[in-house]
Amino acid sequence: MNVNPAQADPGGSATLSPATELAVVFDLDGTLIDSKLDIAYAANHALAQSGRSALPVDEIASFVGDGARLLLARAARLEPSAAELEPLLEAFLDYYAAHATDHTELLPGAYEALTALAHLRLALCTNKPRSTTDAVLSNLRLPARFAIVVAGGDLAKNKPDPLPLVHIAAELGLSTAQLVMVGDGPQDIACAKAAGSRSVGVEGGIQARERLIAAEPDVMLQSLRELPGLIARWLSAAQVPSSLSP
């Protein structure tokens, strides 16, 4: 489904039930931040440390979304369980933690969306390792406070498994149906669908638009600037008595 709320049903998919309270869960890389260069430089540093050749930035960017281990495994052409991967992963994490935001910036609309939604409970759900997640959040000083941050490796399973959203809902005292997962990748959408949460895909991130569309989010947005209006319409729709609903 490719729904633009400015041109179609502002509530998104007709299968979504009204919710009087919603919490918004953001992905990090490619959704809130453009971290493509810093990730690529860290990956190429790790490859060089192991005697391997550097890869183009765009090729490394195509590996983003499933966490550092799988990214490095794909870049080095290794199995994720290979012992040879461990020193590469260590080199990547050490370098990236020290250079987490050398070139990283907020994506267009991220600042505005976080500011406009600051009155709601916000969460962050990323497959990025905890050490680099913390470094990015500390350095960028995002204009909103996240009630909970779930990073890669914090739980037994990462996205696209529903566990991160199930955990976030439990911590916030909400049902998973009251969560809105916002992301640029199919991992975000699959996680939301498996958890029974709403899913919002945002174009213009790191991951390929075709993969995001194929994941069929409830709503597709061209920019995060559209997100506050969408959330407001969802919440407003829930306030209308059923006898007055169209």
Same domain, 137 and 234: yes
Query: Domain total for the chain?
Result: 2
Q: How confident is the model at residue 19 (pLDDT cuts 50, 70, 90)?
A: low
- Measure the CA–CA gap between 195 and 192, rounded to whole angstroms: 5
- In our burial notation (b when 16+ CB lie closer than 10 A, e otherwise), range 37-48 reads bbbbbbbbbbbe
Same domain, 27 and 120: yes
Same domain, 205 and 131: yes
What angle is formed at CA 131 by the lines to CA 26 and CA 140, rounded to 5 degrees? 55
Alpha helices, H only, the chain: 36-49, 57-61, 68-76, 85-98, 110-116, 130-140, 163-172, 186-195, 209-214, 227-239
Is the predicted pLDDT of residue 215 greater than 90, yes or no?
Answer: yes
List all residues 6 or more positions away from 87 whose beta carbon is below 8 Å from its beta carbon.
Answer: 49, 50
Same domain, 162 and 128: yes
Q: Kindly report, residue by residue over 52-110, the tens digit of the pLDDT.
A: 999 999 999 999 989 899 999 999 999 999 999 999 999 999 999 999 999 999 999 99
The catalytic residue among 9, 27, 94, 161 is: 27
Q: What is the pLDDT of residue 31?
A: 97
Tell me the whole-structure pTM to 2 decimals: 0.87
Q: Are 56 and 114 in contact (CB under 8 A)?
A: no
Same domain, 83 and 29: no
List all residues 6 or more positions away from 238 whose beta carbon is below 8 Å from its beta carbon.
Answer: 18, 19, 20
Q: Are strands 23-26 and 33-34 parallel, antiparallel or unpaired?
A: unpaired
- Measure the CA–CA gap between 230 and 182, rounded to whole angstroms: 12
Q: Kindly report, residue by residue over 28-50, the tens digit of the pLDDT.
A: 999 999 999 999 999 999 999 99
Domain hosting 94: range is 36-98
- Is 29 an active-site residue? no
The answer as to whether 171 is a domain residue is yes
The answer as to whether 3 is a domain residue is no
More reliable by pLDDT, 142 or 10: 142
Please tell me the least confidently modeled range out of 10-24, 141-155, 173-187.
10-24
